[in-house]
Copies of this chain bind each other. A is one copy, B any other.
Amino acid sequence: METAVQGTVPAQPAAYAKTDRTVPTRSAERASYDRELVHAILDEGYLCHLGFVRDGAPVVLPTLYGRVGEVLYLHGSTGSRPLRMTGQADPGLAVCVTVTHVDGLVLARSAFHHSVNYRSVVVHGIAHQVTDPEEKSRALDALVDHVVPGRAADSRPANKRELAATAVIRLDLNEVSAKTRTGGANDEPEDMDLPHWAGVLPLRKGYDAPVANGDLAADVAVPPYLTGA
């Protein structure tokens, strides 16, 4: 009889299950539930947009995040509003987390068909505050490594005071969808001979040279993970 090897991650289905709110009412052909695509879009972002409800009204705030497997960790101070709402006595906070990349501007011959090429992920769920110190520590590493992969190991870890001052919420990746638009302009057949240029203006992604802090000692070199060396 075979037994699971300890520590083996159970295999995940290749796609997230669809739900009522992850199936779009329009442009359904742009939607995807592919796990690898979702992970790639999430991992490429720097800030997510965290939505929650306060006094019946929506609030959307840009927030740092990191992913560990099928969990998103979101960062904040213990004083910030959404995190205060997820205390231990709390049943959790209903959130929607969205990450979007704009890849290009789509110029069509007709005003109507102008668009942008983009890739986005929308996650629905109940977020819970992370209270276990070990999980919190792992989450903070993930947040730092999300900004610059490998950086957590090359910085001073958070001390007790800092860990206490940081609130982290976790959101499981269960109800998830991606949406992407790629390719050129989709003009109407009768517009093909109009004299207007049609195509895509791609947005350039990259970095400028690192700017050292003014207070950095002269003998601290730029690390190779920032220069691609």
Task: List the B residue with the shortest CB-CB distance to A204.
Answer: B206
The reply to whether B120 and A79 form a contact with Cβ atoms under 8 Å apart is no
Bound Cα distance A187, B220 (Å): 15
A47 to B203 CA separation, bound complex (whole angstroms)? 13
B122 touches A61 (CB 8 A): yes
- Is the CB–CB distance between B47 and A155 below 8 Å? no
A47 pairs with B226, CB closer than 8 A: no
Asked whether A154 lies within 8 Å of B116 as measured between CB atoms, the reply is: no
- Count of this chain's copies in the oligomeric assembly: 2
Residue from A79, A115, A147, A166 having most chain B Cβ neighbours under 10 A: A147
Give chain A's interface secondary structure class: mixed
Chain B residues whose C-beta falls within 8 Å of the C-beta of A112 in the assembled complex = 140, 158-159, 162, 166
Q: Which residues of chain B are within 8 angstroms of A50 by Cβ–Cβ distance?
A: 60
* 9-residue interface stretch from A1-9, A10-18, A31-39, A190-198: A190-198
Given A47-B118, A197-B210, A198-B212: 17 more A-B contacts, CB < 8 Å: A26-B80, A27-B77, A47-B102, A51-B59, A51-B60, A59-B122, A60-B98, A107-B148, A110-B155, A112-B158, A114-B151, A197-B212, A198-B220, A199-B210, A199-B212, A201-B210, A201-B226
Q: Is the CB of B118 within 8 A of A62?
A: yes
A135-156 near B? 1/0 per residue, CB < 8 Å? 0000011011001100110111
Interface status of A91 (Cβ within 8 A of chain B) = no
A77-115 CB contacts (< 8 Å) to partner B: 77, 79-81, 84, 94-98, 100, 102, 104-105, 107-112, 114-115
